[in-house]
Structure 1
Amino acid sequence: MAWNQPGGGDRDPWGGGNRNDGPPDLDEVVKNLQKKLGGLFGKSRGNGGGESSGGGGGFPSGIGGKGVAALLVVAAAVWAASGFYIVQPAERGVVLRFGAFGDVTQPGPNWHIPYPIEEVIKVNVDNVENFQVEAHMLTRDENIVDLELKVQYRISAPETYLFRDFAPEKTIRDATETTLREVVGQNPLDSIIVSENRSQIADAVEQGLRTLVERYQTGLEIVGVNIQRAGAPPAVKEAFDDVNKAREDKERFENKAEAYANEIVPRARGASARRLEDAKAYRAQVIAEAEGESARFLSLLGEYKRAPEVTRQRLYLETVEQVYSDTSKVVMDTNSSNNLTYIPLDQLMKQRTRTAPQQEQFDDLGTTAADPGDSQATERVDSRGSRDRRTR
């Protein structure tokens, strides 16, 4: 029997029932479903007043209008409560309304219309990310330099970061390499590999990179750029190491010379200032002495004009006293008197002790000191100019 031929008893080949039975009635299916729901919520009365396990269409009548309202209120409250969320201090909340950007929320508790109307994406804006760039680049003087650069960045505009650029991290990497090649191409190799110039190169790269990142609207912010390594290619590394060593020796010698200059120049200036002050003091002393001598001479001149003889005698006596006060010899005239001469040896010895340092100084200068065994005498000249010899 063919597959489409009816079987015995007007049945299909698969042994089904009578083919005259049509598809199940839709009303009957609905009634059966209502009966099952009525079994879940309990029995309810039908329209005729009798008890039945189901009723007409809609919710079972046993629940009542108040029960349905309570269920709807609870469901609405749960749905509304799902919209509360908390944004951490380091985060910002980006609210999407039907998939499109709506708003940016600040840290703290917030609320949005629950799903499926709105949803929130939290973005960390304080976390600092970094990446490294290693490249071989051509300098202005057509040399190859090996560079290793480290870039630090963070998210500054969450909405721009999420929706403006498809791959902001790749964009910032490409912008970094572009800016680095531009800066390196404007400087010679010597200025790039010198450690003192690396900060200037890094600053130039950072400024150019900030401009490109803002122009591309990536939503990222450059935090810092540091050059980790900058050197010559391996083929010429030894030669450049020698150059760097010579440059360091030059700087060391310059620093040493500068330190010596800083030490000797103030000392020379101090000595010069001291000599100038000594010269000023000596000039003031000489001028004062000259002025004093001039005043004394003028005073003596006045006295001499009033009493020439007396003034002349006075000057003579003062001069003789000054001359003989510094000598250690005593002159005696033994022929003019028969008086016994007494020599005070104890006083002479004290005088010799006091003048010993001066005699040693005279000996050092080649001057012969007086013999302590020589006879000494004092000579005085009275106001009349005669010599009065007295023994001591």
Structure 2
Amino acid sequence: MAWNEPGNNNGNNGRDNDPWGNNNRGNNGGREQGPPDLDEVFNKLSQKLGGKFGKKGGGKGPSFTNGGVIGIGVIALIAVVIWVFAGFYTIGEAERGVVLRLGKYDRIVDPGLNWRPRFIDQVTPVNVQAIRSLRASGLMLTKDENVVTVSMDVQYRVSDPYKYLYVVTNADDSLRQATDSALRAVIGDSLMDSILTSGRQQIRQTTQQTLNQIIDSYDMGISIVDVNFQSARPPEQVKDAFDDAIAAREDEERFIREAEAYKNEILPKATGRAERLKKEAQGYSERTINEALGQVAQFEKLLPEYEAAPKVTRDRLYLDTMQKVYSSTSKVLIDSKSSGNLLYLPLDKLTGKAASSKSQDSSQSDSSSIYDSVTVDSPNSDSKKSTTDTQSRTNDSRQGRY
């Protein structure tokens, strides 16, 4: 219900509901009056405060005594305490605070609880440990007048909070522009073939060096952590042709690697085989020389005996040689004049010995034959014996035994 609603008398004609202390006297239920003047409201408030902290004097405004002064002091003290407590603030572990005093740089505060005079110092925390990232990309012109789409990612962090905030305007945007400028300068000095294939690492290093030089010259308060060359591709209009060229280059590299692998496999084997043949030749040479020296020494040892008795020595050498020859052959010689008795010949053993001799001399089996002959007594027995003996010597000489 309204404060001065007509008909709301309640015995007081609505006077008790008026917050401004007005009534409707003299109005007789006429129009409602508006709020009182503000000066009157402040006067009443001053009178109430004077009644609490002092005494009234003459009924015209407050007159303050010692109690009024104490009240004002208490209020001022409370305001100071609030101002002091409002000046405490906390800087995070990964942050540093940049303090401006009346708009001028004052100092850098470390992590932890700090205090500042409120309304005098202004503190801006800056994270100096977080790794930030930005990306630069676009169509760029190469040294050989081709167009390539390049994308690069830069990771960095704040090294000097004050320089990062106030030396340059918007350090992050300035770094992005510097990255784009450095990348375009490096791409402009590179060939497209190198950009798309083997020169990516060199481009990344050169871009990082150029970017560091720009940052140092502008004194941005930023340090580069890493630069990643993300992608480089030709325009869509010529992408198929470049894909074919790259595929051909990859095939070339694959064939080269396969040839190198084959070379690495064959060359050691050939080298080892050559060394083995060389060692065998050296061994054969030494063996042949030693055998020759041994034969020479043997002949030199027989020479004095031969000079003393040439016929005896010759016969002895002949007999020794015949013994060696006939001990390894299957031929049987019988002197029919010495005895007429029938001899038992072990043909099975003789045949086995002949087969063994034939297997040992298989390389010369076509030029030599095994003859198992028995010469019987006849009018020409002497001539047959001489013929058989000559044939045996001829066969043995073919086989290198005589």
TM-score normalised by the chain length of structure 1: 0.72
SS at match of 2:97: strand
Amino acid at match of 2:250: E
**CA offset at residue 216 of structure 1?**
0.9
Unaligned runs of 5+ in 2: 1-32, 34-38, 57-61, 377-388, 390-402
Amino acid at match of 2:161: P
Q: Is 1:101 the counterpart of 2:105 in the alignment? A: yes
Structure 1 contact 139–188 (Cα < 8 Å) conserved: yes
Amino acid at match of 1:91: E
Q: Residue by residue, what CA displacement relative to the aligned partner does 1:149-173 show, whole Å, maximum 9, x if unpaired?
A: 2222221221211121111111111
Partner of 2:283: 281
In structure 2, relative to structure 1, the CA distance for the partners of 1:86 and 1:181 (3 Å cut) is: closer
In structure 2, relative to structure 1, the CA distance for the partners of 1:105 and 1:352 (3 Å cut) is: farther
Which of 31, 41, 65 does residue 56 from structure 1 map onto? Answer: 65
Partner of 2:4: none
Aligned counterparts of 2:83 and 2:269: Cα–Cα separation in 1: 88
In structure 2, relative to structure 1, the CA distance for the partners of 1:60 and 1:299 (3 Å cut) is: same
Amino acid at match of 1:235: Q
Aligned counterparts of 1:283 and 1:110: Cα–Cα separation in 2: 95
Partner of 1:319: 321
Amino acid at match of 2:332: V
Which of 339, 342, 350 does residue 340 from structure 1 map onto? Answer: 342
Partner of 1:244: 246
Structure 1 contact 87–93 (Cα < 8 Å) conserved: no
Partner of 2:192: 189
Of all paired residues, the percent bearing the same amino acid is 38
In structure 2, relative to structure 1, the CA distance for the partners of 1:334 and 1:191 (3 Å cut) is: same
Structure 1 contact 54–60 (Cα < 8 Å) conserved: no
Amino acid at match of 2:180: E
TM-score normalised by the chain length of structure 2: 0.70
SS at match of 1:230: strand
**CA offset at residue 232 of structure 1?**
2.2
Q: Residue by residue, what CA displacement relative to the aligned partner does 1:246-291 show, whole Å, maximum 9, x if unpaired?
A: 2222222212212211111112111111111111111221222122
Q: Residue by residue, what CA displacement relative to the aligned partner does 1:275-308 show, whole Å, maximum 9, x if unpaired?
A: 1111111122122212222222222224434554
In structure 2, relative to structure 1, the CA distance for the partners of 1:199 and 1:336 (3 Å cut) is: same
Structure 2 contact 152–228 (Cα < 8 Å) conserved: yes
Q: Residue by residue, what CA displacement relative to the aligned partner does 1:212-257 show, whole Å, maximum 9, x if unpaired?
A: 0121111122222223222222333332222222222222221221
Partner of 1:380: none
Aligned counterparts of 1:133 and 1:346: Cα–Cα separation in 2: 101
Which of 123, 126, 130 does residue 127 from structure 1 map onto? Answer: 130
Partner of 1:79: 84
In structure 2, relative to structure 1, the CA distance for the partners of 1:102 and 1:293 (3 Å cut) is: farther
Q: Is 1:227 the counterpart of 2:243 in the alignment? A: no
Aligned counterparts of 1:332 and 1:132: Cα–Cα separation in 2: 112
Q: Is 1:217 the counterpart of 2:233 in the alignment? A: no
For residues 1-392 of structure 1, what are the structure 2 equivalents within 5 Å? 33-36=49-52, 38=53, 56-57=65-66, 59=68, 79=84, 83=88, 85-88=90-93, 90-107=94-111, 109-194=112-197, 196-345=198-347, 347-352=349-354, 354-355=356-357, 357-358=359-360, 361=362, 365-367=365-367, 369-370=369-370, 374-375=373-374
In structure 2, relative to structure 1, the CA distance for the partners of 1:353 and 1:45 (3 Å cut) is: farther
Q: Residue by residue, what CA displacement relative to the aligned partner does 1:121-166 show, whole Å, maximum 9, x if unpaired?
A: 3222222222222222222222222222222222122121112111
Q: Residue by residue, what CA displacement relative to the aligned partner does 1:56-97 show, whole Å, maximum 9, x if unpaired?
A: 156566x8x9xx6xx959965993695363531x32333344
In structure 2, relative to structure 1, the CA distance for the partners of 1:84 and 1:151 (3 Å cut) is: closer
Amino acid at match of 2:97: G
SS at match of 1:184: helix
Structure 1 contact 92–104 (Cα < 8 Å) conserved: yes
In structure 2, relative to structure 1, the CA distance for the partners of 1:313 and 1:131 (3 Å cut) is: same
SS at match of 1:296: helix
Structure 1 contact 80–113 (Cα < 8 Å) conserved: no
Unaligned runs of 5+ in 1: 1-14, 16-22, 39-43, 47-52, 378-386, 388-392
Aligned counterparts of 1:312 and 1:73: Cα–Cα separation in 2: 147
How many residues are paired up? 334
Amino acid at match of 1:216: Y
In structure 2, relative to structure 1, the CA distance for the partners of 1:369 and 1:311 (3 Å cut) is: closer
RMSD across aligned positions (CA): 3.8
Q: Residue by residue, what CA displacement relative to the aligned partner does 1:290-347 show, whole Å, maximum 9, x if unpaired?
A: 2222222222224434554543333222222222222211111213422332223454
Aligned counterparts of 1:302 and 1:72: Cα–Cα separation in 2: 143
**CA offset at residue 211 of structure 1?**
0.9
In structure 2, relative to structure 1, the CA distance for the partners of 1:125 and 1:306 (3 Å cut) is: farther
Structure 2 contact 329–353 (Cα < 8 Å) conserved: no
Aligned counterparts of 2:216 and 2:342: Cα–Cα separation in 1: 124
In structure 2, relative to structure 1, the CA distance for the partners of 1:83 and 1:330 (3 Å cut) is: same
